Amino acid sequence: MINRKIMFMSPFQVETIEEEYVPKTLGDQEVLVKLIYSLISPGTEMAMLSGKKIGRSSRCVQAMQASAGS
């Protein structure tokens, strides 16, 4: 199964990444759900894209900025 994700590498730099996902054996109370559509919200994702610090995402933004050398 291919897993696709959007990675905010640094402010205004976005990459899409595809990786193979090998599901573990599911327990009796677990299910595996295949997502057909997703949504990008204008709040958090736009803040991550622009490098703004908001709420819990600020740690992610700081990590992005540190890796970009800013």
Provide the residue ranges of all domains of the chain, joining segments of one domain with +. 1-20+40-70
For residue 37, what pLDDT is reported? 83
pLDDT digits (tens, 9 = 90+) for 37-59: 877 777 878 888 888 765 554 55
Predicted TM-score of the model (pTM): 0.49
For residue 18, what pLDDT is reported? 92
DSSP string, 1-70: -EEEEEEEEETTEEEEEEEE--PPPP-TT------------TTHHHHHHHT---GGGHHHHHHHHHHHT-
The answer to whether the CB of 23 falls within 8 A of the CB of 32 is yes
For residue 56, what pLDDT is reported? 53
pLDDT digits (tens, 9 = 90+) for 1-34: 888 888 888 888 888 899 998 878 888 999 988 8
